[in-house]
Chain A
Amino acid sequence: MRLIARYAKELQNDFEIITVYEETIEKELVSKEQPKIKTLAKKYPAAIWFERKMHDDFGIIVEDAFDKRPLVQQERFPKDIHPLRKDFTNTQLEETEYIPYKYEAISGDGVFQVAVGPIHAGIIEPGHFQFSQAGEDMLHLEVRHFYKNRGIEKMLEGKTLREAKPVIERTSGNESIAYQICWRDIYLQASQQELPLALKKRHALLLELERVIHHLTDLGFIPNDAGFGAALAYGSKLAEDARRKMKELTGHRFGFGAIDFENHFIDTATFSEWLHELEESIEFFEDWIMDIPSLWDRFDTTGILSLKKALKYNTVGVVARASGLSLDRRINSFYLEHGFIMASEVSGDVGARFKVRLQEVKNSITMMQHFLEEDTSTLELSSIHDGSYHTFTESSIGELFMAIDIKDGVIERFFVRDPSFMNWQALHLMMRSDIIADFPLINKSCDLSYAGNDL
């Protein structure tokens, strides 16, 4: 069974611990007086972050956990505060005494520690990487994040689904459409309605466009991190063109506010023409890049994630598919009918992740052609029913899981597991045979979200 998520919810007298697997969802009640659970981390290493987060958020004690350090709460965060509890209503915290975080470290003769972050060089989100080094060789890496934690889960409590939308779509700017589609699915479930096919196609088109923008940017940045700047100029030009298309279609360069229940006019002829041009450009790019041996010297065998580890750590998205895992939420009749083909590589290295992105861009172009339709149908929404709802969307990074509980018409608990939350936990496995100078390249080839991870 694949672990997808593990999180808690506060009830009257108990906490409900919800564990989401591929096929089932397990629920367990623990009393608020004695909130103790057992760890799943022995079987599922990726459960650690979920459990540490649960402790920070609610004060739930994971008795037999081998890692009891805080995850979301950092050095200056007031102790003994569990902000996701309902009785916590403070909106202004005071910094408390600095208590250093104990990083995992390997020690020994000549072994030294390198700390990077939270603010990195260049234009990039904040996070922290702690390396144990023997000369150039990376012996160990600990990823430490949550600098961007905005308290989104708490922020959305007490709001209607409509009120929550502008925040949900800004959880992770690169995956805005994917987040909105999750929101849409939950709205539909709660109002017990079906989406008309034309709207489904429009939304799917926008999701693929978002994926293309994200991948094109990476296809430029990955070679750039291996010292080949010309690819960045090419990739970023194509990404900019695609971003302008997003603006043309939705009125916003990132598609904020794009997913609604109204179909808007698309000039299909011009859009289709642009898709053709993009297809040609991407074929040219592929020919060009595949032909540069010095680049593949850097890509091949760098940052390997074996299939076994990809499975063990429950990785998702591009990272999983580059290691030979056939995992994509788009395997369903709707997508298959519109030309979806699962991208797949087996070598699990930077080169494989690069090639998966190339395949996916080409496949998205094909699908977008099939999703194009002139239609102006709308869906009249009926009222919302209370209940627990969850859904999945394949974002540009991977499988996105969202769960929303609605009580008395407003959000009671909002939970999201970004694909990055799984993949960040596997990043340290990818650098066992590489040197520290390879790290930026390996990190870029995964291109994970900090904002979506941190919430």
Chain B
Amino acid sequence: MIKFWNKRVKHGVLTENIELDRELEKIKKEIQDSVKKKFAGSLAIRMVDSGSCNACEAECNALANPYYDLERLGIYFVASPRHADVMLLSGIMTFNMTPHAKEAYEQIPAPKWVISLGDCPAMQAPFEKTYAINAPAENHLPITHHIAGCPPSPLEIMQGLLEFLRKI
């Protein structure tokens, strides 16, 4: 344990390359400010995977790593739709998931928004339509904002969240 604290004291905060750092800092600051203004400092997101390849989720998980540290800005992924302001929808809206995704949306208290994440919900990923797919998601849910990419990188997700915050 001593070794750990030594290392902790020696290295402190993680820095990236300077240019990326500046960009990230700018985005982070703006996100924090608008979350403060529009969501009283705390924006709760309910993640719903409607049939992804899991890369989109992996990038959302990466948002919590020490480089991006999204929670510090007041954005939280919550365990229940009843605690959420926003539904972040990934995946291709499979036939099997459609009723569950719709139900999760119902459970979110108003006012509420849906942000679609990645190319899948927009039926833009390289999948072709089969019996098992109901995408595009906009046929089933009201989508306020879309974050494109296959998958969008953590930075792109942050940019997308910022655009959403500017929009509403």
Please list the residues of chain A having a beta carbon within 8 angstroms of any beta carbon in chain B: 74, 76-77, 81, 83, 88, 90-93, 95, 118-119, 121-126, 146-152, 154-155, 166-167, 170-174, 176, 217, 232-233, 236-237, 239-240, 243, 253-254, 256, 284, 287-288, 291-292, 449-451
What residue of chain A has the Cβ atom nearest to residue B135's Cβ? A150
What residue of chain B has the Cβ atom nearest to residue A76's Cβ? B99
Cα distance A155–B64 in the bound complex, in angstroms: 35
Given A151-B133, A291-B1, A240 and B128 contact (CB-CB distance below 8 Å): no
- A237, B67: Cβ atoms closer than 8 Å: yes
Q: Which of B104, B126, B132 contacts A151 (CB 8 A)?
A: B132
Cα distance A173–B79 in the bound complex, in angstroms: 23
The 29 listed contacts between A and B (C-beta, < 8 Å) are: A122-B77, A123-B60, A125-B52, A125-B54, A148-B51, A148-B91, A149-B95, A150-B51, A150-B130, A151-B130, A151-B133, A152-B130, A154-B131, A167-B128, A170-B53, A170-B55, A170-B125, A170-B126, A171-B53, A173-B55, A173-B151, A232-B64, A237-B65, A237-B66, A237-B67, A254-B55, A254-B58, A287-B3, A449-B54
Cα distance A284–B6 in the bound complex, in angstroms: 12
Q: Which residues of A contact B153 (CB under 8 A)?
A: 253
Please list the residues of chain B having a beta carbon within 8 angstroms of any beta carbon in chain A: 1, 3-4, 7, 14, 47-62, 64-67, 77, 79-80, 91-92, 94-101, 104, 125-133, 150-151, 153
Q: Which of B52, B62, B130, B151 contacts A236 (CB 8 A)?
A: B62
Cα distance A160–B49 in the bound complex, in angstroms: 29
- A149, B48: Cβ atoms closer than 8 Å: no
Cα distance A167–B127 in the bound complex, in angstroms: 6
Q: Which residues of A contact B77 (CB under 8 A)?
A: 122-123
- B62, A288: Cβ atoms closer than 8 Å: no
Separation in Å of the A241 CB from the closest CB of chain B?
A: 9
- B100, A126: Cβ atoms closer than 8 Å: yes
Separation in Å of the B92 CB from the closest CB of chain A?
A: 6
Q: Which residues of B contact A152 (CB under 8 A)?
A: 127, 130
- A125, B57: Cβ atoms closer than 8 Å: yes
Choose among B55, B125, B153 the residue with the greatest number of A CB atoms under 10 Å from its CB: B55
Separation in Å of the B95 CB from the closest CB of chain A?
A: 6
Cα distance A386–B49 in the bound complex, in angstroms: 38
- A123, B61: Cβ atoms closer than 8 Å: yes
- B62, A240: Cβ atoms closer than 8 Å: yes
Q: Which residues of B contact A124 (CB under 8 A)?
A: 49, 57
What residue of chain B has the Cβ atom nearest to residue A235's Cβ? B65
Q: Which residues of A contact B128 (CB under 8 A)?
A: 155, 167
Q: Which residues of A contact B64 (CB under 8 A)?
A: 232, 236
Q: Which residues of B contact A121 (CB under 8 A)?
A: 79-80
Cα distance A83–B129 in the bound complex, in angstroms: 13
Given A118-B97, A147-B100, A288-B1, A155 and B47 contact (CB-CB distance below 8 Å): no
Q: Which residues of B contact A288 (CB under 8 A)?
A: 1, 3-4
- A148, B52: Cβ atoms closer than 8 Å: yes
- A148, B96: Cβ atoms closer than 8 Å: yes
- A150, B65: Cβ atoms closer than 8 Å: no
Q: Which residues of A contact B91 (CB under 8 A)?
A: 148
What residue of chain A has the Cβ atom nearest to residue B77's Cβ? A123
Separation in Å of the B39 CB from the closest CB of chain A?
A: 19
User: Which 7 A-B pairs rank lowest in CB-CB distance, beginning with the nearest?
Assistant: A173-B55, A121-B79, A151-B130, A151-B132, A166-B126, A236-B65, A173-B53
Separation in Å of the A30 CB from the closest CB of chain B?
A: 24
Separation in Å of the A80 CB from the closest CB of chain B?
A: 14
What residue of chain B has the Cβ atom nearest to residue A253's Cβ? B153
Cα distance A190–B161 in the bound complex, in angstroms: 46
Q: Which residues of A contact B92 (CB under 8 A)?
A: 150
Beyond A148-B52, A151-B131, A155-B128, 13 additional contacts (C-beta under 8 Å) are A88-B131, A90-B131, A95-B95, A95-B98, A118-B97, A123-B77, A147-B96, A148-B94, A151-B132, A173-B55, A233-B65, A287-B3, A288-B1
Q: Which of A126, A149, A233 contacts B132 (CB 8 A)?
A: A149
